[in-house]
Structure 1
Amino acid sequence: MRKVIIAALIVLVSVVKLNAQDAPNPITTATPFMLIAPDARAGGMGDIGVATSPDAFSQHWNASKMAFNSHQFSVGVIYTPWLRELTDDVFLGGFSLVNRIDDRSAWGASLKYFNLGEIQLTDNNGFPEGTEKLNEFSLDGSYSIKLSELYSMGVSLRYMRSDLGIESANSSIQPVNTFAVDVSGYFQSEENNYGDFNGVWRGGFNISNIGPKVSYSDDGQENYIPTNLKLGGGFEFILDNYNSVTVNAEFNKLLVPTPSINIADEDQDPQYIQEDVGFFSGMFKSFGDAPGGFSEEMKEFTWALGAEYMYDDAFALRAGYFNESDVKGDRKYFTLGSGFKFKSARLDMSYLFNASDIGNPLENTLRFSLAFDFGDMFEYY
């Protein structure tokens, strides 16, 4: 029975990996919880955030946005139920903080905690043998500085811990402790007139989770962490003093080598073997190592579109769409969201509609995030 529980746990964790296991050439990583969109504002726009306007949750998407934050202090709190159709005790929670130091720089910190729930242990006869609580978390610190009035860059240092072992079952899975770095950039234009409306251009990139490979067991087998490239851009249509509409597009790619296909025997299923190269070399190798050539490489990019309507900086409506190749995971979903501002507080909500045959852990789930802005105001544009 213990083996069954451990197998079920592995299935649970694999749900949040980038690719489905029955894909032609799946890419899997350790600590996949780092790719979960934490806040409901981004969740309402198809999980887009690298080039949206700054907010309390900028650190996850693009830390360089913090230097453009409109308030001196911003604090965010997140809660995202996970696999709610199967269980009620798995969730992602945490908080984030942004502090503008001056007109040109800012620092931030955040904590993300992924609770995998309580595992009930039984022996081979079904008698209870206690419980185990499994979890993963990350702790971040970031610094952002404007290199000009329109462009900033940021760097983040991240500590991650993943504890998926069941001690009482004599599991060979060991806790993982590791560090990673993010490097990001953000562009935000001045507000310019375009005839009947004003507008602001935004663009950004973020290379996140740059760090060494890790091992969950004593046998020495190492796994890449989810080093990821985000590229995005958007335009805000400022219709008048009360109404604005923002549209955004974003592309993502895991900077992890694609496993090669090895068929040892015609009677056996193909096996996928990931070349043993260092994490830094693997980042560059990931752009040209797909066995299917350029066409397969392009399928390893995901893309998303999102839109946000804002009224008087007090009420927001959002929508988005996320797409992944059907041979690289087949995640496809629509999202809706809304936001309400009460003085210095903002409450955001989002909902996901699955558009794929592959189940989504956030299907039929309402996500929430809460943000607070304090202190002096800074010029936004």
Structure 2
Amino acid sequence: MRLIQILSSLLLLAISHSITFAQIGVLGQDSTRRVISTAVSFLTITPDARSAGMGDVGVALSPDANATHWNPAKLAFLEKTMGMSISYSPWLQKLVNDMSIAYLSGYYKISKQEAVAMSLRYFNMGSIQFTDLQGRLQQDFNPREIALDGTYSRKLSKEFSMAITGRFVHSNLAGNFSNGPGNVNATPGNVVAADISAYYEKKKIIGMIPTTVAFGLNISNIGGRMTYNNPTTADYIPTNLRLGTGITAEIDEYNKLTFALDINKLLVPTPPIRNGQGQIIKGKDPDRTLVSAMFGSFNDAPNGLREEIQELMFAMGAEYWYKDIFALRGGYFNENTIKGARKYFTLGLGFRYQKFGIDFAYMMPTIQNHPLADTMRFTLLFDFGRSKQEKSVTDEEGAVQ
């Protein structure tokens, strides 16, 4: 259905998986681009201001309530009994004034080694007007997408944890609208997905400086395909592999410095090259089972290993804390030009006082007139309760060793 194709294209633009207006136009295509497109791509948008200020790193950063998005396994390392986070970002401010992303997350420590969490993500795509085939106004509608998550996280040793997350995703792009007799209604789409994550944290003394070295892994959005009106035209959701590391040095009692690096890869089929009749002439058929699509995504690019490497996305960032009260952040995100060309610098600020925190982030794309230029994010954090002090199984294991 033409309507759904247009809305899907707008969504791709919204997350900058398409190129800027100056290069290809809003809905145009460029044959030199090999962008991997998915449904509900809002699931990959950075929700919180801390990571957004650090170039979109997060899988191995020190844990907070926003670990529900980046790496739920980190939740087991949180010290407070419970906490929550509220994030908000106006979206595509250069184009419209009524799009936004909101994110709410909260966790609770069952014990020192276990945590549960929930999060809610809401993507408001503003208001659109539907017309009939003669161009007459039929109705106004507010396209929106929602994701609701539930997580269980547990330490398996003093330094290692894992987590599993269940996710329900609802996407309503057209609200059952039909533009005439004989046309198929564009119904809302629903899908269920899961995340599997792991986190390792080791405290060391390096050059007489207390240092924490961390590694993280998160395979997110493992699930079926999304369809809006016909199962035969179902689209993959953005199953993603995220690997990363972070190093935090406590220089002295006042100053702390963190460096982090994330590498991302979509675990969905690379689009093949087709001839004018739609027949595949290079690459592999993207119509596969979930498992085949995930594992096959490492060797299905039509241009071989070179293109597979081009599908990797790199995020790097730094964070400086003064007395655990004030933070200054910066980062850079890079995506290959033929795979979406998202390249931008970020800046961020943070403030903590007792049980309250606030973060701010600002995006600066390297391409002029980019629709995501000047994107800002805001996050409020709240920590409740005391630290869990009871002895855990992992502590007992460490004592025996």
Shared topology, TM-score over 0.5? Answer: yes
In 1: Cα distance, 2:270 partner to 2:108 partner: 39
SS of alignment partner, residue 280 of structure 1: helix
Structure 1: stretches of 5+ with no match in the other structure: none
Tell me, yes or no, if structure 1 residue 263 matches structure 2 residue 275. yes
User: Relative to 1, partners in 2 of residues 1:358 and 1:63: Cα closer, same or farther, differing over 3 Å?
Assistant: farther
Pairwise CA distance, 1:272: 9.1
- Quick check: 1:29–1:223 contact (8 Å CA) kept in 2? yes
SS of alignment partner, residue 101 of structure 1: strand
- Quick check: 1:92–1:113 contact (8 Å CA) kept in 2? yes
User: Relative to 1, partners in 2 of residues 1:31 and 1:358: Cα closer, same or farther, differing over 3 Å?
Assistant: farther
In 2: Cα distance, 1:213 partner to 1:127 partner: 34
Tell me which residue corresponds to 1:235. 247
- Cα deviation digits, residues 292-334 of structure 1 (max 9, x gap): 1111100000001100001111110000000011111111000
In 2: Cα distance, 1:95 partner to 1:30 partner: 22
**What is the 5 A alignment of 1:150-161?**
150-161=159-170
Tell me, yes or no, if structure 1 residue 214 matches structure 2 residue 212. no
Pairwise CA distance, 1:340: 0.9
Tell me, yes or no, if structure 1 residue 338 matches structure 2 residue 349. yes
In 1: Cα distance, 2:104 partner to 2:252 partner: 33
- Normalised by the length of structure 2, the TM-score is 0.87
Pairwise CA distance, 1:218: 2.3
- Quick check: 1:196–1:239 contact (8 Å CA) kept in 2? no
Tell me which residue corresponds to 1:353. 364
Tell me, yes or no, if structure 1 residue 364 matches structure 2 residue 374. yes
- Quick check: 2:54–2:346 contact (8 Å CA) kept in 1? yes
In 2: Cα distance, 1:138 partner to 1:119 partner: 22
CA RMSD between the two structures: 2.5
- Normalised by the length of structure 1, the TM-score is 0.92
In 2: Cα distance, 1:336 partner to 1:119 partner: 32
Identity across aligned pairs (percent)?
A: 41
Tell me, yes or no, if structure 1 residue 55 matches structure 2 residue 59. no
User: Relative to 1, partners in 2 of residues 1:238 and 1:378: Cα closer, same or farther, differing over 3 Å?
Assistant: farther
Structure 2: stretches of 5+ with no match in the other structure: 19-28, 390-394, 396-401
SS of alignment partner, residue 232 of structure 2: coil
Tell me which residue corresponds to 1:37. 46
In 1: Cα distance, 2:5 partner to 2:233 partner: 18
Pairwise CA distance, 1:129: 3.5
Pairwise CA distance, 1:275: 2.2
Tell me which residue corresponds to 1:75. 84
The aligned length equals: 375
- Cα deviation digits, residues 91-140 of structure 1 (max 9, x gap): 11131001111111101000001111111345567654331111100000
- Quick check: 2:178–2:186 contact (8 Å CA) kept in 1? no
Match of 2:299 among 280, 288, 293: 288
SS of alignment partner, residue 167 of structure 1: coil
